[in-house]
Amino acid sequence: MLLHYENDLNDVWLFLQKNGGNHTSHLSFLNDKLFYWSQQKRVLIIYQKAGNTFVVLGDPIGEESLILGAIQEFHQYCRQFDIKPVFYQVSLRYMMAYRQLGYRALKIGEEAKIYLPDFSMSGNSRKRLRTCKNKFDREGYRFSVLLPPHSKELLEKIKDISNSWLGKRKEKGFSVGFFYDDYVARFPLAAVTNPDGEIIAFATLAYNQPKIDRTLAIDLMRYRPDNSPNATMDFLFISIFNWCKDNGYEWCSMGMSPLANIKDTQSGLIEAVGQMIFDKSSHFYNFKGLYQYKNKFQPEWESRYLVYQSYFLPVIFLRIIRLINGNQRQASRKFVLVKNQLGKINFGKLFS
């Protein structure tokens, strides 16, 4: 029997505090997700609808012994309504359960994670980071972590920085954090202040992670472009890592880098399809630059996958991109596969 519950964010919050979360669970509080409670509300599946597809974000969360049953239940729920389920940014943790139900897996990127017990500013490999931190310290820049509840005045200052950083760009969503007052107010804020005491950069720190490995995730990151010196974000990241280490966290997640290290891991056709689709979306994400930036902090990289059934991959990718962009116009576009004589994949747009 399937049980359904209201999409109550307070229930989600309490559930995550009790059961821990995963690398995407904090994004539940952006208020752009749906929730499927399974196994008598002991397993949580976070998803959103795109066309006739339910896109699940991250692994199911809950009691380990109930996860397989929860995936089976969600699978049957989707079949009941002729919905195609896909699982986006999942780890290898429950891959066996997906495969038992006939799903396939495609590597789509890697999550960057800093193992904090080993994080140090010493050694030749950290010389540039040391130089950066010493320069900011010497010039009077300061780092602090501000715990909720946050004042209305602070949130207004942070929002002004966010708007300055965005400029004419639009916020993304779904698997990407965006500025939403209730969301930002829920989490600690890491902030950099200039010598005049003005906040010039910030990041939200999500902590609803599994208690067993004490993980904190850096999520929304913004700075004031017209008033922030070069390497401000480097100083912010370094300071966050040091703060996490001092406060007993084991891991600090920097989030996923799409398309990181996927060569030679999939068949040529599938990889080409994924690569080409994401290339079409490069206007909103500099994937290569994102990977290179995170890699300079020498993180450990953990693979993330798209889990799907026998379904047209380009459609899946485009629906995920539509969710991230939050752009309904994207849904009206049709894409045509054209295979040239060299066997390369190209996508041409046809507008209906």
Cβ neighbours, 10 Å, residue 65 = 9
Q: What share of the chain is helix, strand, coil (3-state, %, to 5)?
A: 40, 30, 35
Cα–Cα separations (whole angstroms), residue 140 to 121, 181, 235, 312? 20, 30, 12, 55
Tokens (6 digits) for 331: 């849904």
Amino acid at 40: Q
DSSP 148: S
Give the residue-averaged pLDDT of 221-230: 95
Digit-coded pLDDT (tens) for 84-117: 999 999 999 999 999 999 999 998 889 999 999 9
**Integer-rounded Cα radius of gyration of the chain:** 21
The pTM of this model reads 0.84
Q: How many residues does the chain have?
A: 352
- Tell which residue, 53, 61, 118, 90, has the closest CA to residue 299: 118
How do 53-57 and 199-206 pair as beta strands? Answer: unpaired
Cβ neighbours, 10 Å, residue 180 = 16
Q: What is the pLDDT of residue 208?
A: 61
Longest Cα–Cα distance of the chain, Å, equals 63
Digit-coded pLDDT (tens) for 239-256: 999 999 999 999 999 998
Distance between alpha carbon 335 and the CA centroid of its chain, in Å?
26
Residue 278 has pLDDT above 80, yes or no: no
**Which domains does the chain carry?**
9-111+258-351 (no CATH), 113-255 (3.40.630.30)
Digit-coded pLDDT (tens) for 124-165: 989 999 999 999 999 999 999 999 999 999 999 999 999 999
**Which parts of the chain are beta strand (E)?**
34-38, 43-50, 53-57, 61-62, 84-90, 104-115, 142-146, 189-193, 199-206, 215-223, 251-258, 300-308, 333-339, 345-351
- Tell which residue, 90, 118, 107, 87, has the closest CA to residue 252: 118
Determine the Cα–Cα distance for residues 339 and 222; give it in Å rounded to an integer.
41
Tokens (6 digits) for 267: 């068949």
Digit-coded pLDDT (tens) for 285-299: 566 677 788 989 999
Determine the Cα–Cα distance for residues 51 and 82; give it in Å rounded to an integer.
11
Determine the Cα–Cα distance for residues 286 and 275; give it in Å rounded to an integer.
13
Give, for 197, the enclosing helix (H) or strand (E).
none
Determine the Cα–Cα distance for residues 164 and 279; give it in Å rounded to an integer.
27
Cα-Cα end-to-end distance for the chain: 41
**Higher pLDDT, residue 28 or 258:** 28
